[in-house]
């Protein structure tokens, strides 16, 4: 595409040069300036309405006109061909790119859909992609998502067709991070109607929108302003704790991370105590909490607590240790 544009610019330069040369040449044969431009344009475009000099045209002017015809017509046709090629290449590239993107999305499973490529949606999508999650972005403004490395669907997230194009039936979660609470409410309702077991996190700007989004089907409702305020307060009141949590959860400056792992049915550690599971020795992780089927957390669980299927283990350790914990559990 770039080389085509370069050739097109060069060809346009040749056309302009021929136009200037033709105008000067016909002027030298005694034509008025406007008549000289008229003769040049009608010659190089093969229109040829009439010759200004009529039967009085000289032999030299005939040869000059033939030279303008040969060079001008070929250059104009070449320029026209390049123009068509540039248009077709751009449309074809966009079409092929869109087809490849659609095919990639159609093959994705257990991915996360992020609706809205604003400040919140961008930060969420980048953070999840950095952690290895498959992410599909829905954005109505094509200029916002031009050139990003994530699969995208350009369209209105409040429309069912757009959500289906993002593979919502195969997704495991959706994040409604549009600018308006009403839009996030509509996305939540539509998403819940399409897939009843989808995990939905919705953004709320106004406090009164939190309850509405929960009633609409959002599993979690987040107010970024409140979270930001709480985080700022934590840095003042408990700076070391706040910084430690930030480092463990988001940064890569330490070699350990925090992660949750679900105990599936049939796991070798299901039905035994935490002591017998011996996760500290087997996986090298520290178990911080357990979450039961009722949703309650048991922090710093006792060694005699029994690990049941579907319990969630919240542990901290290195990436290798957490990967080993996943292997042990599954």
CB contact at 8 A, 153 and 175: no
**pLDDT attached to residue 230:** 85
pLDDT of 184:
96
Structure confidence at residue 262 as a pLDDT band (50, 70, 90): very high
CATH architecture type of domain 255-329? 2-Layer Sandwich (3.30)
Report yes or no: 151 and 101 within 8 Å, Cβ to Cβ.
yes
Q: What is the mean pLDDT of residues 90-117?
A: 81
Q: In what order do the strands lie in the sheet with 135-139?
A: 152-154, 135-139, 112-115, 173-176, 199-203, 220-222
Q: Which ranges in the chain are annotated with CATH 3.40.50.720?
A: 112-222
3-class SS letters over the chain: CHHHHHHHHHHHHHHHHHHHHHHHHHHHCCCCHHHHHHHHHHHHCCCCCCCCCHHHCCHHHHHHHHHHHHHHHHHHHHHHHHHHHHHHHHHHHHHHHHHHHHHHHHCCCCCEEEECCCHHHHHHHHHHHHCCCCEEEEECCCCCCCCCCCCEEECCCCCHHHHHHCCHHHCCEEEECCCCHHHHHHHHHHHHHHCCCCEEEEECCCCHHHHHHHHHCCCEEECHHHHHHHHHHHHHHCHHHHHHHHHHHCCCCCCCEEEEEECCCCCCCCCCEHHHHCHHHHCCCEEEEEECCCCCEEECCCCCCECCCCCEEEEEECHHHHHHHHHHHC
Express as a percent the part of the chain with pLDDT over 70. Answer: 90
191 touches 198 (CB < 8 A): yes
Please, are residues 205 and 225 in contact by the beta-carbon 8 Å criterion? yes
- Mention the CATH class of domain 112-222: alpha beta
Query: At residue 254, what are phi and psi to the nearest 5 degrees?
Result: -115, 155
**pLDDT in the model for residue 96:** 62
Cα gap 15→75, rounded to integer Å:
6
0.85 exceeded by the pTM?
A: no
Task: For 293-328, write each residue's pLDDT tens digit.
Answer: 888 899 999 999 999 999 999 998 888 888 899 998
| Gyration radius (Cα) of the chain, Å | 34
CA distances from 186 to 152, 160, 182 (A): 20, 10, 6
What is the model's pLDDT at position 44?
Answer: 80
Q: Domain 2-104, what architecture?
A: Orthogonal Bundle (1.10)
What integer pLDDT is reported at residue 301 of this predicted model? 92
Q: How confident is the model at residue 226 (pLDDT cuts 50, 70, 90)?
A: confident
- CB 72, CB 44: distance < 8 Å: yes
At 112, the pLDDT band (50, 70, 90 cuts) reads very high
Structural tokens at position 126: 């980048």
pLDDT digits (tens, 9 = 90+) for 69-87: 888 888 888 888 877 776 7
CA dist., res. 27 & res. 43, Å (int): 14
Within 8 A by CB and 6+ apart from 286, the residues are 280, 315, 316, 317
Which residues does 118 contact at the CB level (< 8 Å), separation at least 6? 177, 178, 179
User: What residue ranges of the chain are covered by domains with CATH 3.30.70.1450?
Assistant: 255-329
- What pLDDT is stored for residue 82 in this prediction? 74
Mean pLDDT of the chain: 86
Domain with CATH 1.10.287.70 in the chain: 2-104
Contact at 8 Å (CB) between 202 and 222?
yes
Strands 297-299 and 173-176: unpaired
């Amino acid at each position: 595409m770039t080389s085509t544009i370069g050739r097109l610019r060069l060809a346009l330069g040749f056309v302009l040069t021929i136009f200037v040369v033709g105008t000067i040449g016909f002027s030298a044969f005694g034509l008025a300036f406007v008549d000289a431009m008229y003769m040049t344009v009608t010659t190089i475009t093969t229109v040829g309405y009439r010759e200004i000099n009529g039967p009085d045209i000289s032999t030299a002017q005939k040869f000059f006109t033939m030279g303008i015809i040969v060079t001008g017509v070929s250059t104009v046709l070449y320029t026209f061909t390049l123009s068509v090629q540039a248009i077709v290449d751009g449309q074809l590239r966009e079409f092929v790119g869109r087809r490849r993107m659609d095919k990639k999305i159609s093959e994705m499973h257990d991915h996360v859909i992020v609706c809205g490529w604003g400040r919140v949606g961008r930060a969420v999508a980048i953070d999840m992609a950095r952690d290895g999650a498959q992410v599909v972005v829905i954005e109505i403004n094509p200029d916002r998502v031009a050139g990003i490395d994530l699969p995208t669907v350009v369209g209105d997230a409040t429309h069912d067709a757009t959500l289906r194009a993002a593979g919502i039936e195969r997704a495991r979660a959706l994040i409604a991070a549009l600018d308006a609470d009403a839009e996030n409410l509509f996305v939540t309702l539509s998403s819940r109607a399409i897939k009843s077991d989808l995990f939905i996190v919705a953004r709320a700007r106004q406090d009164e929108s939190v309850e509405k989004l929960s009633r609409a089907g959002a599993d979690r409702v987040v107010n970024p302003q409140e979270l930001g305020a709480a985080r700022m307060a934590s840095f003042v009141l408990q700076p070391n704790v706040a910084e430690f949590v930030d480092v463990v959860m988001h940064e890569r400056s330490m070699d350990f991370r925090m992660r949750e792992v679900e105990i599936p049915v049939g796991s070798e550690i299901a039905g035994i105590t935490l002591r017998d599971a011996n996760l500290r020795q087997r996986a090298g992780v520290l178990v911080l909490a357990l979450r039961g089927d009722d949703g309650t957390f048991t922090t710093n669980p006792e060694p005699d607590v029994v690990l049941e299927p579907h319990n969630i283990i919240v542990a901290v350790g290195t990436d290798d240790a957490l990967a080993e914990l996943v292997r042990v559990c599954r």
